[in-house]
Each structure stands twice: as C-alpha cells, then as structure tokens.
Structure 1
Amino acid sequence: MMITKTPSVLLIYTGGTIGMIQNPETGALENFNFNHLLKHVPELKKFNYHISTYQFEPPIDSSDMEPQAWAKLVKIISYNYDLYDGFVILHGTDTMAFTASALSFMLENLSKPVILTGSQLPIGMLRTDGKENLITAIEIAAAKIDGKAAVPEVCIFFENHLMRGNRTSKINAENFNAFRSFNYPPLAKAGIHIKYEPSRILKPDEGLPLKPHYLFDTNVVILNLFPGIQESIVSAVLNAPGLKAVVLKTFGSGNAPQKEWFIQALKDATSRGIIIVNVTQCTSGAVQMERYGTGLQLLQAGVISGYDSTLECAITKLMFLLGHGFSNKEIRFRMTKSLAGEITKEE
C-alpha cells in the first residue's frame, strides 16, 4: 500500500489588511492571530494539510516594507524549506509586487511555491475578499502535478488569478481585482477548478539546492519623465550623492524628449558609471529604443533597455545586482537577461 504524505504549508503573516480583525466592542481593527484565522476561515479545518504559521512581530504595514523584511522572509523560507511543500505570505497590497519581485531573485533555484496574497477588505468583514484569496493560495502552495510542485515560483494570487510575482503590478486601490500581469499571462486561474498552465510555469533544475540571497543596495532612484520636466530637476536626481542606478520611466515604447541638455545629462551619468534602465510608463508593452529616433538617442547615451519589465521588477533587480557587488558591465549584462522569468526578450 502506497503511503501519501500529508501536504504541509507554512503561512507567514507580515501585516496588511487581510490580517486585520474588527473588535466588535471598540470597532477598532486589530492584527490577527492563528485563533482568529481559524474562527473567520473555518474552511481551513477541511484541508487535509498540515498548516503552520509564523507572524511578524510587530506586523508591518506594506508601506513600511524594506529590503530588511525581504531578507527576513528569505531566512524564514530557507530555514523551513525542507519542512514544507509550499509557503504562503500574507502581505499588504501596496508593496506586494515589490516584495514578490525581490523574492524571485533572492530565492535562486526555487523548486517550491511561494505564494503572496492579501485582501482589499479585512478577513473579519462580511464581504472580504481575503477568505477566498487565502484558501486558494494555500491550495496552490500545496498542489502537486506528477509528484512535483505545481507552481515552483514566487507568485501573487489575487481575485482568481495566479500571476508570476515579478510580472505583476497593483493597478486598483478600490476593486477586488487589485493586481494585473499585463505582459505575461496568468499561470493559473481559479474557478470551480484551479486550471494550471504548465507551459507558462518555470521549470526548476531539480538537481540544484535552494540558494538564498540577502544582499541589497538601495542607492537607486526612479525618474519619471513628463512634458516640461526641468533641467535642474534631472540634474539634481542624476547627481544625487551615492547614486548608482536609475530606472527611467519613458513615454510609449521607450521615448524621451529630444533636448540636448537631457541627452547630455544621461551621457554624463552613464560615463560616471551610473546604470540607467529604460522602462515604459505604459501598463502594457515593451521598450523598443531602436524604433524611433527619440528612443535611439537614449541607446546612444548608454541607457539600457528594460524590455517589458515592470517598474517593481526593474528597481528590485537593480538593488539585488548592486548589492552583490557585480561590476558595472556585469550588471548591465544581467539587466538585459531573464534571471527569473521577469522579461520577454526577442533574440
């Protein structure tokens, strides 16, 4: 008789709306504990899973999420990696896409699911979206296909869609469909059944062990272009003390103003070793600097393409590569390569 192992999932609560419970006496929102969770989501008892929990003390509002907290998450996952089939991280929605992107690079050779989820309404409220998000995220974290993890990636699950974490952005502060992956299709959709898309899911090298990373360098900045942007502002940003890299948010397919002072400022910055990565302000599509003269000038100034990378991915990837002390040349090379399925590049 074949003995099947009971699936095990580690639930990590960092903070955020999903973990807030309304005190019926005071009306105040309070952070959850596991007893609260079982009370408000009794369906968890129906899982034939071993579910353990870890709670950040104190919980972190997602607006306060920092690389140190990312490193803490990696440490928790790495320490417990052999004990669980998958991991679910409860996280505030505002910076969830940044955390998911960062973890996709920090958890090298990942072969188990790490699913981030949250909610727009606290889990104790009647119309909460948190219950379905949590239940389905746990089911995905424990799921196996042919004896292997169904989705061995860092993902975000929200409102019936499982999305690659480093492809996802928050797009709605009001509705339940808070996240979208514009440039890469969902890895799974949850309806009556959870329908996985194996061809879209990364295939890990089973022979390689998990390699956790903890180093980040936050000497980076985002420069968002707009009509009428002033030379003094651009100069102040590009000459900020300690600056090492810039994510340049450009128009359309990677275009920028054809102002001599602007192009010269970019040339001066890249000549000083500052890495400038071009990503589009559009929610969908990719940078193609060769397409128009307004983009080609950036290429000639030493700006590198971010292709179809999200802003969240581009900035965390830069922090990650800078933190590991790679040379300028190596970082520029790695920014144009897919390390964890984060960009689509036509060869």
Structure 2
Amino acid sequence: MKSKVFILYTGGTFGMKESENGLEPSTWKEIIEYLPAIKNQTYFNHFSSINFTFDTLEPVVDSSNMNPAIWKRIADCISDNYNSHDGFIVIHGTDTLSYTASALSFMFENLSKPIVLTGAQLPIFHPRTDGIINLSNAIYIAGYKRFELTCIPEVCICFNDDLLRGNRAIKSSTNDFEGFSSPNFENLASLEQRIQISENVLPIPEGKELKIYPTFSQKVVNVTVFPGYNVAALQDLVDNKKIEGIVLKTFGSGNLPKDDSWKQLVQTCEKNEVIILATTQSANGRIEIGQYAASNFLKNPIVANGKDITSPAALTKLMWVIGNFEFKDRIKMLSKSLRGEISLYN
C-alpha cells in the first residue's frame, strides 16, 4: 500500500554548516547538495511506494529562536496538507524540539495521523551523522501504511531508534546520540532490527474532525525554586498583573521553603487570577501536594497539580491553556491529561 508523507524542514543541527560565526542553518537545497543519495533519488527509491512532499519553513531557524509564532506556522503547514497526506515529519533543532513537540500536541485535537519530529546531534554533513538513521526511522513511522505498521496518531519524537511521546520527552544529552528520553512514560516504539510498537499506550482516534487551537499566551514565567530564593521579584510581577501564569518547579514532591512570603505569593495569585502550575524539579516521579507539610502552601484553588508532567510540556500547556480558554476552565484543564502528557493516578 502506498503512503504519502510530508516532510517539513525547519532548520537545526540536522542541516547546520560551518560559517565565520560558527554553525548556522543551511537550506534544504544545500543539504541535498551534500547528500548525493537524496539528490539522485537513490535514497528515496528505497521508499518507492511512498510519495514524498518536501517543504522548507523559510527562513530556516536555529531552534533556540523557536517561538509560538513559528509553532503556528508549522501547525498551519501541517493543517494545509493534512487531508492529502498520511503522515508528517518535521526536521527540527534539538535544543527546543521537546517544546515544539509538546506545543503541537496541544494545538491539534482529534489527531488521527502521525506527526514525527526528528533532528540530529551531528550535522548531516558530518561523516558520523545520526541524521540519516533518524530520518529513515521517522519515514517508517510517518509512512506506516507502506510498511504495514500500526498508525501512531499523535505528535512524537523519533531519535536514535526510539519513538517517544512528544509531550513526555525531554532533551537529556547535548552530545549522546540518544539525546532524548521519556522519564515517566514508556516509549511508543523501538526501531531496532525489528520495529516494535507499544500498541497498549497509543490513543484511539475517535473519528472526530481535526481542530486546531493555535494561540499561546506569553504572559507566563518558568520559576525554579532554589535554597534562598527571593520571592520579591515574582511577587512584583503578580502584584502588577504582568503575568497570568507561573510554572513553579518545586523541591521533591511539591515542597517549598517554610517562609510566609510563599504563602503571600499564593494568596496574591488567587486574588489576581494568576494560575500556578506546580511541578517537580526531578526528572522522575511526580508531585503530591500535601504529602509533606512543606507543600501545604500549595493547597489553594489557584494551584494546578502538574503531577509527573515534564518541564517543556508544563510550560507549553500553561501558555496554550491561558491562550485559548477562559479563566474559569483553566485549572481543570491544567490538572487533567489532555494529550497523554500526565499519568493517571488513583
């Protein structure tokens, strides 16, 4: 069975080239010049039963420059080609890849096709690049019909023979080929000599019409608590209504210093309708508000329990919820799993 796969190149290490200012992104045309196998179509002849569409997000970007406006452009590009393709691949820089994967997962509701983000730790021009295998594996997931594989109808990250749920992944290494991990959720698939898909964890499409919610609020802050943290600057932002949301990365399972300034901050947030999404600094595990007395400050209706959500997913979810929904609905949406981004506990 034939498949139609859309590949969008956005920039990143995958296509980086040397310049006087260091590594800078190349264009897709430049990448092809360095890859005779692709240029002469012999690489894609291996996938002769797949019809490919290539596009470039101009201008290509270093992923450190990624922002909500570019997320929307990526989503629009996928949306415009959604009905005519079976799967999608987004080639992206690794630094913010997990943020983009999380953002896209929230933007698309009722997704029924795979959106696979991938990239590389070494540029495609490097003789030991990991880019080729990452792209090849992504093609198998996006072109699932051709290979008689199970459809994975969600936003995912394909890297170093692993397929991860996009909003569960974090960048765990700057130099290992296994650059991403999923600390609190099993991999969606393993792409070794045999491709093994964890079908038991995949969402079941309900056949509803695809919806896109594209707006992200940028009136949020990401706060990591540390010993001696001075709440005054954060209190000022809340007092003057300069922000609408805080991702609060607490100690351990939700603990804060025993200091009245934290209690005052939470009370002011409630007064000014500034939502706190409480998470843990630990990569593994979850927060449990009330388990320790040091977390009692967070027993407040303005605080959403982030459970085991990752830092990239917490931030993008908070931005997305504030950007698209009224205040009365936000706490409920932040506290439950919308796209499989948090685990369900008894």
TM over 0.5: yes
Gaps of 5+ in 1: none
State the distance in 2 between where 1:162 and 1:44 align.
21
Matched, 1:287 2:283: no
After superposing the two structures, state which structure 1 stretch, 31-40 or 330-339, moved more: 31-40
The number of equivalent residue pairs is 338
1:74–1:213 CA contact under 8 A, matched in 2: no
SS at match of 1:50: strand
CA contact (8 A) 2:172 2:180 kept: yes
Amino-acid identity (%): 37
Q: 1:40, 1:123 within 8 Å by CA — same for their partners in 2?
A: no
Q: Which residue of 1 aligns with 2:191?
A: 190
Alignment partners' CA distance in 2, 1:231 and 1:15 = 38
The offset of 1:144, in angstroms, is 3.8
Question: Which one-letter code corresponds to 1:338 in the other structure?
Answer: S
User: Which position in structure 1 is the counterpart of 2:257?
Assistant: 257
Normalised by the length of structure 1, the TM-score is 0.92
What CA distance in whole angstroms lies between the structure 2 residues aligned with 1:266 and 1:145?
53
Q: Give the residue type in structure 2 aligned to 1:39.
A: P
Give SS of 1:156's match. strand
Kindly tell me: are residues 55 and 295 of structure 1, through their superposed partners in 2, closer, same or farther at Cα, counting changes over 3 Å?
same
Q: Is the 8 A contact 1:254 1:287 kept in 2?
A: yes
Return closer, same or farther for 1:106/1:198 CA change in 2, 3 Å cut-off.
same
* Shift in Å, 1:19: 1.8
Contact 1:250 1:279 in 2 (8 A): yes
Q: Alpha carbons of 1:29 and 1:77: their partners in 2 closer, same or farther (altered >3 Å)?
A: closer
Code of the residue aligned with 2:100 in structure 1: it is T
* Structure 2 Cα separation of the partners of residues 149 and 73 of structure 1: 25
- Tell me which amino acid in the other structure corresponds to 1:227: P
Q: Could you tell me how far apart the structure 1 residues matched to 2:336 and 2:231 are? A: 32
After TM superposition, list the pairs within 5 Å mapping 1:114-263 onto structure 2.
114-144=115-145, 150-206=151-207, 208-239=208-239, 241-263=241-263
Change (3 A) 1:158 1:147: closer
For the 8 Å contact 1:38–1:45, the answer to whether it is kept is no
CA offsets, 1:78-128, max 9 Å, x none? 111111110000000011111000100111110000000000111121000
Paired letter, 2:97:
M
1:66 is matched with which residue?
Answer: 67
Seen in structure 2, the aligned counterparts of structure 1 residues 14 and 284 have a Cα distance that, compared at 3 Å, is: same
Q: Distance in 2 between matches of 1:203 and 1:63?
A: 34
Q: CA RMSD in A?
A: 2.1
Q: How does 1:251-330 map to 2 (within 5 A)?
A: 251-300=251-300, 302-324=302-324, 326-330=325-329
Match of 2:36?
A: 39
What stretches of structure 2 of length at least 5 have no aligned partner?
Answer: none
Label 1:174 to 1:209 Cα distance change in 2 as closer, same or farther (>3 A).
Answer: same
